[in-house]
Structure 1
Amino acid sequence: MRRWVDTPRKRVIVVALVSWLLVLTAMEFISVPYVRLSPGPLFNVLAESDGKPIISIDGAEVFPVTGQLEMTTVSERGGPYGDLTLFEAFTGWIDPSVAVVPTSLLYPPDTSGDAARQAGSDQFSDSQEQARIAALQEVGEPVETRPLILEVSPDSPAEGILEHGDVVLAAQGRAVRSPQRLARIIAAAGPSADVVLDVRRGDEDLSVTVVTVANPDDPQKGFLGVTLGIVADSPVTVDFNLDDVGGPSAGLIFSLGIVDKLTPGDLVGGRKVAGTGTMDFDGRVGPIGGIAQKLAAAHDDGVTLFLAPKDNCDEVLGATPPGLEVAAVESLSEARQALEGDLPPPPCPVG
Structure 2
Amino acid sequence: MTKQRAKWPYVLLIILIILVVILEFVQVPYYVHKPGTADKLESMVHVKGGYQDQGTMRLVTIYEIKANLLQYLIAKYDFNKYTDVYKVSQIQLPDETQQELNVRNLNDMKTAQDSATYVAYKAAGRNPTIKQLGIKVLDINSEMPAKKVLEPSDLIIEANGKPIHTINDFKKEIKGAKAGQKVQLKIKRGNETKTVSTQLAKFPKDWQTSGQSDEVGLGIVESDDVKVSVTPPVTFNTQGIGGPSAGLMMTLEIYNQLTPSDLSKGYNICGTGTMDFDGTVGPIGGIEEKIVAANKEGVDIFFAPVADHEAKDAEATVKDIHSKIKVVPVKTFDDALNYLKNLKEKKS
**Alignment TM-score, normalising by the size of structure 1:** 0.70
Residue 338 of structure 1: how far off its partner (Å):
2.8
- Find the counterpart in structure 2 of residue 44 from structure 1: 40
3-state SS, counterpart of residue 302 of structure 2? strand
- Aligned-pair RMSD on alpha carbons? 3.9
Distance in 1 (CA, whole Å) between partners of 2:343 and 2:160 is 47
Distance in 1 (CA, whole Å) between partners of 2:86 and 2:305 is 22
- Find the counterpart in structure 1 of residue 237 from structure 2: 241
Q: Percent identity?
A: 26
- Find the counterpart in structure 1 of residue 59 from structure 2: 71
Give the letter for the 1:316 counterpart: A
- Find the counterpart in structure 1 of residue 77 from structure 2: 90
Give the letter for the 1:55 counterpart: V
Q: How many residues align?
A: 306
- Structure 1 residues 129 and 90: alpha-carbon distance in aligned structure 2, compared to 1, 3 A threshold: same
Map 1:169-184 → 2, pairs under 5 A: 178-179=166-167, 181-182=168-169
Residues 178-212 of structure 1 deviation map (CA, whole Å, 9 limit, x = unaligned): 54x44653675554577777766667778877654
- Find the counterpart in structure 2 of residue 15 from structure 1: none
3-state SS, counterpart of residue 252 of structure 2? helix
8 Å Cα contact 2:100/2:152 also seen in 1: no
Residues 248-296 of structure 1 deviation map (CA, whole Å, 9 limit, x = unaligned): 2122222221122122311222211101122233333222121110011
8 Å Cα contact 1:171/1:185 also seen in 2: no
Distance in 1 (CA, whole Å) between partners of 2:85 and 2:185 is 44
Distance in 2 (CA, whole Å) between partners of 1:203 and 1:176 is 18
- Find the counterpart in structure 2 of residue 334 from structure 1: 335
Q: Which of 272, 276, 279 in structure 2 is aligned with 1:283?
A: 279
Residue 308 of structure 1: how far off its partner (Å):
1.5
Unaligned runs of 5+ in 1: 1-24, 49-53, 344-351
Q: Which of 50, 55, 72 in structure 2 is aligned with 1:62?
A: 50
- Find the counterpart in structure 2 of residue 232 from structure 1: 227
Q: Which of 317, 320, 330 in structure 2 is aligned with 1:319?
A: 317
8 Å Cα contact 2:118/2:129 also seen in 1: yes
Distance in 1 (CA, whole Å) between partners of 2:91 and 2:74 is 21
Unaligned runs of 5+ in 2: 1-18
- Find the counterpart in structure 1 of residue 8 from structure 2: none
Distance in 2 (CA, whole Å) between partners of 1:84 and 1:272 is 33
Distance in 2 (CA, whole Å) between partners of 1:204 and 1:212 is 24
**Alignment TM-score, normalising by the size of structure 2:** 0.70
Map 1:340-351 → 2, pairs under 5 A: 340-341=341-342
- Structure 1 residues 75 and 152: alpha-carbon distance in aligned structure 2, compared to 1, 3 A threshold: closer
Residue 36 of structure 1: how far off its partner (Å):
2.8
